[in-house]
Amino acid sequence: MAAMQSEGSSLLRKRYLTIKTSGKATLKINKSVFIAHVARTESEAQSLVFAVEIRKQHHDASHNCFACIVGPQDDFQRADDAGEPVGTAGKPMLEVIRKNKLCDTSIVVTRYFGGIKLGSGGLIRAYGRSASEGVRAAGIAELILHSRIGIDLTYNLLGPLENALLSHGFPISDKQFTEQVRVYVLVESGKELQLQKLASDITAGVACFSDQGFAYIEKDFNCKEGLC
């Protein structure tokens, strides 16, 4: 029995971590104000637009430093010091994204200079801490790839199938009623055969299956010690 999974889904990440929602954190360090802005950005274009928008909002700031990791294979990565000494701003921000194993994540840290120089080490710590606080404010989500499977069956089998799906943890996303019933089920990628066997057993082999694409299901992810 072949797994009902579209070819496109085989090219996607099975699961990954990213920002839960846009977040913001403000820190004051030696009279300088650091404002971290964090967002989920799912393309290079979105990431760059986000950076431009923050820079417009804080056009009067001393620096608007930027870091991001975006793309299915983390294809687009950038660390911009925005006038700070080389390697003291964008790089430590990028390391925060990497340390938390985040994808599709962009961070801009705005600095309003307070008159006291921090030195290279102080800047690295300040930008890294600001980025970490921004990530913590935004929260982290885990996205898990699911196949969407259509199951066609007769009306008299709907109740037993629904009970079996519920007891085995297969969520029904939708139902369509015509001459027969079509049940749409979301199943974690790699578990399609398990779903098909269950449905076939319950319906004595009369259920018909169809691939209806795929979707990511989002779950909260708790920051572990040493992360965020």
**Residue 73 included in any domain:** yes
Domain interval for residue 194: 7-12+145-221
Same domain, 58 and 126: yes
**Residue 169 included in any domain:** yes
CA angle 70/75/81 to nearest 5° reads 65
The pLDDT value recorded for residue 142 is 94
Other Cβ atoms less than 10 A from the Cβ of 56: the count is: 9
The pLDDT value recorded for residue 11 is 65
The pLDDT value recorded for residue 46 is 96
The pLDDT value recorded for residue 139 is 95
Same domain, 84 and 149: no
The pLDDT value recorded for residue 194 is 94
Boundary-marking domain end, from 138, 155, 190:
138
Q: State the CATH number of the domain containing residue 41.
A: 3.30.230.30
User: Average pLDDT for consecutive 10-residue bins of the chain (228 residues)?
Assistant: 42 87 96 97 95 97 97 90 96 97 97 95 97 96 94 95 93 92 92 94 94 88 60
The pLDDT value recorded for residue 1 is 28
Boundary-marking domain end, from 75, 108, 138:
138
The rounded distance, in Å, linking the Cα atoms of 165 and 189 is 16
Q: For residues 104 and 20, is the Cβ–Cβ distance under 8 A?
A: no
